[in-house]
Amino acid sequence: MTSAKIPRIGLGTWENTDPKQCPKTVANALEMGYRMIDTAQMYNNEELVGKGIRMAEVPREEITLATKIWFSDLSSDDIQESTRGSLDRLDVDYVDLLYVHWPAESYDATDTLPALAGLADEGLVREVAVSNFTPELMDEALRECPKPVVADQVEMHPLLRQEELHKYLVEHDIHLVAYSPLARGRVMDVPELTEIAGKHDISEAQVSLAWLLSKEMVTPIPKATSEDHLRQNIEALDITLDAEDIEKIDSLSRLRRMIDPSFAPDW
pLDDT tens digits, 205-262: 999 999 999 999 999 999 999 999 999 999 999 999 999 999 999 999 988 999 999 9
The pLDDT value given to residue 3: 52
pLDDT confidence bin for 22, thresholds 50/70/90: very high
The pLDDT value given to residue 261: 97
- Average pLDDT score, the chain: 97
**Domain membership of residue 235 as a residue range:** 11-182+216-239
CB 246 within 8 A of CB 211: yes
pLDDT at 1 over 50: no
List the CATH number of the domain containing 21: 3.20.20.100
Instruction: Give the mean model confidence (pLDDT) for residues 42-50.
Output: 98
Residue 203 belongs to some domain of the structure: no
- How many Å separate Cα 80 from the centre of its chain? 22
The pLDDT value given to residue 5: 85
Q: How far is CA 150 from CA 145, 156, 253, 256, 264, in A?
A: 11, 17, 31, 26, 21
Residue 235 belongs to some domain of the structure: yes
Instruction: Give the mean model confidence (pLDDT) for residues 114-136.
Output: 98
* pLDDT > 90: percent of the chain: 97
Q: Where are the alpha helices (DSSP H) in 56-148?
A: 76-90, 109-122, 135-144
How many whole angstroms separate alpha carbon 142 and alpha carbon 139?
Answer: 5
Name every residue whose Cβ is closer than 8 Å to that of residue 178 and which is 6 or more positions away in sequence: 153, 154, 155, 156, 157, 212, 218, 219, 220, 221
Residue 97 belongs to some domain of the structure: yes
Selecting among 34, 43, 99, 179, the annotated active-site residue is 43
Q: How many domains is the chain built from?
A: 1
Residue 106 belongs to some domain of the structure: yes
43 among known catalytic residues: yes
Q: Where are the alpha helices (DSSP H) in 100-190?
A: 109-122, 135-144, 163-171
Q: pTM score, two decimals?
A: 0.97
